[in-house]
Every structure is written in structure tokens, then in C-alpha cells.
Amino acid sequence: MVNSYSMCDLKAKKDYFARVRRSNYVASMRLEGMPVTQSDTSVKPASRKAVLRAHNCQVAS
């Protein structure tokens, strides 16, 4: 049986890793020479499905 303490820990871990992932994404963009603003850290990156959909549309054209 899962207690509420472990569920809180899981949510905290997921939140932490989501923040780290966004931070790494912005740092990677900066290292590639792309213009980065502070607001880029609050923007959620596109989902895998959205990226694949956009890529397939460009390839098909």
C-alpha cells in the first residue's frame, strides 16, 4: 500500500526533474548560439508527438 508521504515525494521528484530538464534545454539552446530570454525557462517544450507531427509535415511538403 502506498502512503501519502511517498506520493508527495514522487510529485516533488517529478517537479524537480521537470525544472532541471527545462533548465538544461535552455542552456543547450544558449550553447548552440540561439537567443535565449528568461521567459524561455517558463515555456514548456513541445511534446514528442507535436515535434514528430511538425517534422512529418515539413518532410512531406
CA dist., res. 14 & res. 3, Å (int) = 17
- What confidence tens digit (pLDDT) does each residue in 11-23 have? 888 888 888 888 8
For the chain, give every domain's residue range: 4-60
pLDDT of residue 56: 76
- 30: nearest Cα among 41, 42, 43, 17: 41
DSSP collapsed to 3 states, 17-61: HHHHHHHHHHHHHHHCCCCCCHHHHCCCCCCHHHHHHHHHHHHHC
pLDDT of residue 35: 85
Per-residue pLDDT of the chain (61 residues; tens, 9 = 90+): 555 556 678 888 888 888 888 888 888 888 888 888 767 666 666 677 877 777 776 544 4
Under 8 Å between Cβ of 17 and 10 = no
